Structure 1
């Protein structure tokens, strides 16, 4: 019996056509039809998902995809799920799905894909990426790896993948880590270990988490403004290993006192060490209650904080969640 794969098609660039006389957006079924039958390698069921453009994807849409993935594997018996997604925020949606997958990550494959070139462009990358993703989603080797991104013949772990070049088909990288695998024709070749599975998530993720990029001379009132607008948590994109302007310290302490967690990520790659474990002079915000992102880039730290606050907790719950993210979880 052929493996059963569900395709959740959110449209975006992989389905766009803009040439005169061919304008439109391909449905999921039309995308599958671009793949030669001998390359499918699975029984594909298609569901078209109403979604915003990737650059404006809402937390509700990301959460809806994560829920459908989990249900498709655990309740509907699919062997794998492919999500065609715009590349702007693919890494965030994939990481949220990874954090919320729970036992579904052990039972089936979860594969996100997209395209840098429109469907009607010369040498479009969409059909190849989709064909590879279906091959990957049907392959038993991906069960247990969690969510991955499949683009340009490579498989990247959701925790590590980042969009690094918005101008070419070699758009995604896991650096400094290696891709976890690659697709060679109809074969899946695993290249290395995936990141540890995250701890089991509890409750509904909190969508109102703000992401603020810091800069020298930044005024503290900007943090108060996002909280006044309804943010239940704040991620600061700092510099170096986890530094933010000293002028924000009083505001960070105040927010922490209100049980609103402040997580400090970095615009650079960092280690998984806690802020308080950094050498003297670095990570000073830890002294007034800030939480380290544990190596996550700011956009993914925001996703992780959304999940951390899902159980209704505040600073203590968020700190515990990020500490557990940095440790291997029981499989």
Structure 2
């Protein structure tokens, strides 16, 4: 019999807004909302309530603590899988950070995050169905080795690719331009696409103080030095196109690189993942100032990656880590 740990963080999937019983229900009560007829057979579910703020206010330190709990549940307590119920606002952030920190846990157990876009007492609530699918996926040995996934509407999205596209409608998440990696059918998972390559195993302790700055024409370079003065150990810049940032930032990027403060450039667009310094002439010029390319990661994913990469050392170690992500 498979053993699955349900880590319940509250938020929309556990929230009732009606006059009868407003508020957030416990993980045990949430599990009872899943009809017995759709619960996966031969699965022992243990429930643990994990204190966390609403996902839109989830700090990096809480995300890291949740990721560590997932890893220890698989490596130290030998659960076959872990399901995390999480608010949808920052689910993709926590999912990818958990994926990066999983290391060998991703090869020994399944890691599934799920949530809901409608409250528990809504007539068309999606929470119980999503939770049933997530439990079935976490118990399926076929998911081992795939890394952390996000499960909604019976689709399993790889943490690296998943993006929230609709705050209230369905589907709320997509993997585009890639595909979901699995689909849940009758309490089993069916492959749809090859999961992305596994990231490097984490080294050392991640850094939580990594700001994400959205660039724009004529942005003030002082914004970069200000966050470093406030204690930032690295910076992610959200650029445009293939990984372009305004020329006004080049001097600041070069100075920060000399101070061993890595600056990673991601893009608000989908990109090929090619290194910045290999792009055609006129693109990726920030690389000449010392910037590190995000290798196709979305800005919020690049922030999670930089947090973990900083555990291995300074700018040169981060550059080498991103070359393998």
TM-score, normalisation: structure 1: 0.96
Q: Give the corresponding residue for 1:11.
A: 10
CA distance in 1, matches of 2:57, 2:205: 21
Deviation at 1:184, TM superposition (A): 1.7
Q: Is the 8 A contact 2:118 2:168 kept in 1?
A: no
Count of residues in Structure 1 that have an aligned counterpart in Structure 2:
323
Deviation at 1:167, TM superposition (A): 2.2
Q: What does 1:43-62 align with in structure 2 at a 5 Å threshold?
A: 43-62=44-63
CA distance in 1, matches of 2:34, 2:18: 21
Q: Give the corresponding residue for 1:314.
A: 314
Deviation per residue, 1:257-295 (Å, 9 max, x gap): 100000000000001100001111010000010000000
Q: Is the 8 A contact 1:117 1:169 kept in 2?
A: no
- Give the SS at the match of 2:202: coil
CA distance in 1, matches of 2:303, 2:266: 9
Deviation at 1:59, TM superposition (A): 1.2
Q: What does 1:85-104 align with in structure 2 at a 5 Å threshold?
A: 85-104=86-105
CA distance in 2, matches of 1:260, 1:43: 46
Q: Give the corresponding residue for 2:107.
A: 106
Deviation per residue, 1:45-81 (Å, 9 max, x gap): 0000000110111111111111111111111111100
Where does structure 2 lack aligned partners over 5 or more consecutive residues? none
Deviation per residue, 1:111-153 (Å, 9 max, x gap): 0001001111121000000000000000011011010000011
CA distance in 2, matches of 1:128, 1:21: 22
Matched, 1:283 2:297: no
Deviation per residue, 1:155-207 (Å, 9 max, x gap): 00001111111121301001110100111232211111000011111011100
Deviation at 1:38, TM superposition (A): 3.1
Where does structure 1 lack aligned partners over 5 or more consecutive residues? 326-331
Q: Give the corresponding residue for 1:30.
A: 29
**Off by >4 Å, runs of 4+ in structure 1:** none
CA distance in 2, matches of 1:229, 1:55: 23
Deviation per residue, 1:95-124 (Å, 9 max, x gap): 111111111111110000010011111210
Deviation at 1:299, TM superposition (A): 0.4
Deviation at 1:22, TM superposition (A): 2.1
Q: Give the corresponding residue for 1:39.
A: 38
CA RMSD of aligned residues (A): 0.8
Q: Give the corresponding residue for 1:329.
A: none
